[in-house]
Amino acid sequence: MDALVLTGKGLTLDYVREVARDGRKVQIAPEAYGQLAETRKTVFELAEKDFPIYGFTVGVGWNKDVKVYKEFFEQYNRNLIYSHCIGVEPYTSEEEVRAVMLARLNTLLANATGVGPEIAKMYADMLNAGIHPLVPERGSVGEADIGCNSLIGLAMIGEGDVKYKGSVMRADKALEQEGLEPIVLGPKDGLCIVTNNALGAGQGAVTLYELKEFMLMTDIVYAMSLEGFNGNTSPLLPHTHAVRPYKYQIETAQRITKLIEGSYIYQSGPGKALQDPLCFRDVTQVHGSVWHAIEYTEELLGIQLNSTDDNPCFLPEKQNFYSCANYEPLVWVLGFEMLAVALSHISKCSCLRTIKLSTPEFSKLNRFLSPDKSVLGFATIQKTFTALDSEIRHLSNPSSVDGLSLAGDIEDRHTNSPHVVQRTRQILDNLRYILAIEMIHAAQALDYRKGMPLGTVTEKAFKFVRESIPFYDKDRPLTTDIRKAYEILKSRRLLDLL
C-alpha cells in the first residue's frame, strides 16, 4: 500500500483506519511542508518585533502576562511539555495512539499554528517507524487535551516511554534504533504539541469506524433472530418505508431483506403471529436512527480532522496571530453523546429479543431454548446481558456539561471530549457481548428450525457460529460460549459473509 499523502485536508475515517489499524505509512505533501516553513519565517519576524504571541513570546493560561525571552525559547517549551504531563492511566491503545498522532499531524498541515515544520515531520517519522508514545487516557477536560497530548511531545524530545516493536522502552532508545534524533523545541512548538483535541478526535475516529462495522453485524444477528423467532417480514417491505422516507431506515430494511432472501419465514402458516413484539418490528427504525447519528458525528468530526483547532490562530493572509476558541469541540462531542443514547436503544432491543426467543408464548419453542426439561438452558444467562445493559444505561448519560472553573477562573467550561468518546467506546464493547449472547440464542433457535430453508446470508452466519459454538444439548459453562461469540463480533469476521 502506498503511503498516505497528507495535505491538511481530505482525511477520512477510512484513511484513519488504514493508518491506525493497518499500519499504512504517511507522507507530508511537499507543498504543505513548504507552507509550514514559510509561516515559520513569519512567526520569527513577529517575535523580532516584540509582538506578544500566546505560548510563544508570552506564557499560557493564567501566565499569559509572563514574557518569554528568545534566549529561553527552548527551555520554556521543554518546561511547557514537562508541566503538562499530568495524565493518568489507563494508556491509550497503540491503534488509537496512531489515530491521535495522525489527527494532530493533519491539523498541523492546515498551516494555522506557526509550528516548526520539523515537528510535523517527527509525527510522520514516528508513525512510519511504529514508535508509539504511552499516552494516558485520563487527564483532559476536553478544551484541548493538554494533559495527555504532552506525553507525545515528551517522546519527541527523547524522554518518557514508548511502545516499539511490541516492547515498552525509553523514547530515546526507540528513536536511536530508527536513526531519528530527538527534536529541539523552538518557539511555540510546545503549545502546538499539547494544545489540541487530538486525543478525543483520534479515539473518536477509531470508535466511529468500529461502530460502523459493528452496525452491519447487528443486522446479521437480528436477521438470525428473526428467522429463529419465525417473525414477520412485512416491516421490511419497501412500500411501508416509502411513505416514511428516512434514508437509513430504508437502507437498513434493504440490507436485512438481502440477508434473509429465500428464507422460510416468508411462508405463511398457522399459528404465526399477526404482529411481532416491537423489539423485532421496529429494528429498521432503531438501527436507522443510529446510522443517522453516525452520519452527523462523522461529518462534524471530519471537520475537526481537517482543520485547525489552535489558539492563537495564525492567518497567513493577515500575517498575524489571533486569539480564538477553535479548540472548543462541543459540536462533535454532542454527536458522541447522541450516539451513546442511540446505542442504548440497540442494547435494549437486543436484550428484549433474546428474552422473547427464550419465551415459549412468543417463540413457540422450548422454554429457555432447552432441548428437554432436564436441561436448564439459557435461564441464568439473562442476568449477564441485563447487567451489561444497565451499564450502558448509565454510560449513556451526558457528561459534556460537567466541570469546574480552572486556571484562575479563566478556563471555566469543559466538554470532557475524551471521556465522552471513551464512554461511547465502552458502550460499543458492552454491546458486542450483548449481541453475542443474542447470536447464541438465535443459533439455538435456528437449530429447532432444521429442515426449513434459511436466508442466503443467515444460513452462512448460522454455520459459521456453529463452527466454534456447538448446539446447547446439555448444561455446560456458558462463559466460554459468550467469549467465543464476542470474539466473532470483535474480529469482524461476520463481515466476510456480506
- What's the pLDDT score for residue 362? 93
| Partner residues linked to 26 by β-bridges | 4
Band the pLDDT of 11: cuts 50, 70, 90.
Answer: very high
Q: What is the residue range of 437's domain?
A: 204-497
How many Å apart are CA 78 and CA 81, to the nearest integer?
Answer: 5
**Boundary residue ending a domain (176, 196, 216):** 196
Whether pLDDT at 72 is above 60: no
In this predicted structure, the answer to whether residue 70 has a pLDDT above a threshold of 60 is: no
DSSP letter for 137, please.
E
Do 283 and 159 share a structural domain? Answer: no
pLDDT of 341 over the 60 cut: yes
Backbone angles phi, psi at 167, to 5 degrees: -125, 150
Q: What is the DSSP string of 172-201?
A: HHHHHHTT-PPPPP-TTHHHHHHSS-HHHH
- How many alpha carbons lie under 13 Å from residue 54 in its C-beta half-sphere? 18
Report the alpha-carbon distance of residue 451 to residue 459 in Å, rounded: 12
How far, in Å, CA of 106 to CA of 12, rounded? 11
How far apart CA 155 and CA 132 sit, in angstroms, is 9
| Residue 178: pLDDT over 60 | yes
291 with 363, same domain: the answer is yes
pLDDT tens-digit map of 466-492: 999 999 999 999 999 999 999 999 999
Whichever domain contains 29, its CATH number is 1.10.275.10
- Mean pLDDT, rounded, for 285-308: 98
Whether the Cβ atoms of residue 354 and residue 228 lie closer than 8 Å to each other: no
Higher pLDDT, 71 or 47: 47
Q: DSSP readout, 111-173? A: S-S---HHHHHHHHHHHHHTEEE--EEES--SSS-HHHHHHHHHHHTT-SEEEETTEEEEHHH
- What pLDDT is stored for residue 317 in this prediction? 82
Residue 259: its pLDDT value, please? 98
- Among residues 373, 392, 378, 372, the alpha carbon closest in space to that of 434 is found at 392
Cell of 177: 534504533
Judgement on whether residues 313 and 386 belong to the same structural domain of the protein: yes
pLDDT at 439: 98
Asked if 225 and 95 sit in the same domain, the reply is: no
Over residues 242-251, mean pLDDT: 96
Coil, strand or helix at 105: helix
Whether 174 and 250 share a structural domain? no
Quote the pLDDT of residue 69.
47
If one counts the domains in the chain, the total is 2
- Average pLDDT (261-273) is 87
Give the mean pLDDT of 170-192. Answer: 93
As a whole number of angstroms, the distance between CA 77 and CA 58 comes to 11
The C-alpha atoms of residue 350 and residue 280 are separated, in whole angstroms, by 9
Q: Which of the two residues, 165 and 271, has the higher pLDDT score?
A: 165
Same domain, yes or no, for 192 and 216?
no
181 and 279 together in one domain: no
Q: What is the pLDDT of residue 46?
A: 76
348 within 8 A of 277, measured Cβ to Cβ: no
Give the pLDDT of residue 312.
87
Indicate whether 217 and 343 sit together in one domain. yes
Overall average pLDDT of the 343-357 stretch: 98
Say which amino acid occupies 39: T
Same domain, 174 and 265: no
pLDDT for the residue numbered 415: 94
Q: What is the mean pLDDT of the chain?
A: 93
- Which residues touch 303 (CB under 8 Å, ≥6 apart)? 332
Last residue of a domain, one of 177, 196, 215: 196
d(CA 430, CA 390): 10
| 362-399 tens-digit pLDDT | 999 999 999 998 899 999 999 999 999 999 999 999 99
Res 266 pLDDT > 90: yes
What are the pLDDT digits (tens) for 415-473? 999 999 999 999 999 999 999 999 999 999 999 998 899 999 999 999 999 999 999 99
pLDDT score, position 230: 95
Q: How far apart are CA 458 and CA 219, in angstroms?
A: 10
Distances (CA, A) of 367 to 361, 362, 370, 442, 479: 9, 10, 6, 14, 20
Confidence (pLDDT) at 320: 82
248 and 180 assigned to the same domain? no
Section 149-174 average pLDDT: 97
Give the bridge partners for 4, in sequence order: 26
CATH number at residue 448: 1.20.200.10
Q: At what angle do helices 330-357 and 382-395 cross, to 10 degrees?
A: 160
| CA 297 from centre of chain | 11
Q: Which three cell numbers stand for residue 304?
A: 475537526
Tell me what the mean pLDDT of segment 122-142 comes to: 96
pLDDT bracket for residue 327 (50, 70, 90): very high
Task: Give percent above pLDDT 90 in the chain.
Answer: 81
Q: Which residues contact 280 (CB under 8 A, 6 or more apart)?
A: 225, 226, 229, 231, 232, 353, 356
313 by DSSP, 3-state: which? strand
Do 68 and 190 belong together in one domain? yes
The domain boundary, picked from 139, 168, 196, lies at 196
> Parallel, antiparallel, or unpaired: how do β-strands 88-91 and 136-138 relate?
antiparallel
Rounded to the nearest angstrom, the gap between the alpha carbon of residue 346 and the centroid of all alpha carbons in its chain is: 17
Query: Does 395 lie in the same domain as 339?
Result: yes
Strand runs (DSSP E) across 301-392, as ranges? 313-315, 320-322
